[in-house]
Chains A and B, each alone.
Chain A
Amino acid sequence: MIEEEAVPFYKHRTMLTLKEVQSLLSGEVLTPGMNLEKECSKIFASDMMSDVLAYIDPESVLVTGLITSHVVRTACLADVSAIVLVQGKRPEPKVVDEAMVRNMPIISTACSMFEVCSRISRSLPEAGG
């Protein structure tokens, strides 16, 4: 159970940096040393990689509960900015290693997929999904 937390409200902004996403979700970065100052404006939440490949916009943040290496590969191929893993999930070390090699940040959060979307949308009401 996640306690209700006040989230920052960025009224006139349409972008968040990955660092701000991490902070908003009290997330842990599993891939150290990557550039988290990169900005992102879109969030795409799905466990269906087929849908990610078909519908995600480049530079989006991918929110998912899947933790296989296919998530990392799908994210790289679709030009995703970062992967957010929900429910405190942690992939096997080899998956994290692959993300490091492919320069794909992974943030793990205890939030549910709904809570992730809700916090970001409350924070950034003008951003697209």
Chain B
Amino acid sequence: MMTEISFQQEFEIKGGDFVRAGEAACEIKNLLKELGLGIQVVRRAAIVSYEAEMNVIMYAGSGRLDLSVTSDRVRIVVEDRGPGIEDVELAMSEGYSTATPEMRELGFGAGMGLPNIKKNSDVFKIHSEVGRGTRLEMTIQTNGHKP
């Protein structure tokens, strides 16, 4: 059964743009709040968006975040044109990071990004191709209680 989409918006993310990092996620948080979603759902979606946005900024040339909301779920799809991830399983393990000193100075690059995205999603899918880019798809149920 098709679920009617009640809200949809795209956000362009520019690789290396640390100055604006987090702005898309903050906007998403405000939008979801205005839509009247529960505090926990908004918080999880905000964190997921921020982590994914930071990954594009830190590692890719450019990317796009698609936010869509239906009555039963929030879906966030982030696609980038970047180097891709060679070993996805390794990248998913807590503490593994290839961050540069610049990223660490900003307080990022602890190797928590992907694991934290997974933790805050009800459904998490990742597809990456070396040399082409990475696609993340996160779904958060609006009636969910995780975590």
Contact = CB atoms under 8 A, between A and B. Distances in A.
The B contact surface, by secondary structure, is helix
Given A73-B23, A74-B107, A79-B39, A50 B29 contact: no
Contact of B46 (A49, A52, A64, A77): A77
Which of B47, B107, B110 has the most chain A CB within a 10 Å cutoff? B107
Given A48-B110, A50-B113, A53-B51, A73 B26 contact: yes
A77 B29 CA distance: 7
Contacts of A48: 107-108, 110
Contacts, number: 69
B39 A50 contact: no
Given A50-B112, A51-B112, A66-B107, A73 B25 contact: yes
Contacts of A52: 107
Interface residues of A, number: 22
Interface of B: 18-19, 21-23, 25-26, 29, 39, 43, 46-47, 50-51, 106-113, 115-116, 119
Contacts of A51: 110, 112
A58 B47 contact: no
Given A50-B107, A54-B112, A73-B26, 15 more contacts: A49-B107, A49-B108, A50-B109, A50-B110, A50-B111, A50-B113, A50-B116, A54-B116, A54-B119, A58-B43, A70-B108, A73-B25, A76-B29, A77-B26, A77-B46
Contacts of B22: 69-70, 73-74, 77
Contacts of A66: 106-107
Contacts of A69: 19, 22
B50 A53 contact: yes
A45 B109 CA distance: 17
A84 interface: no
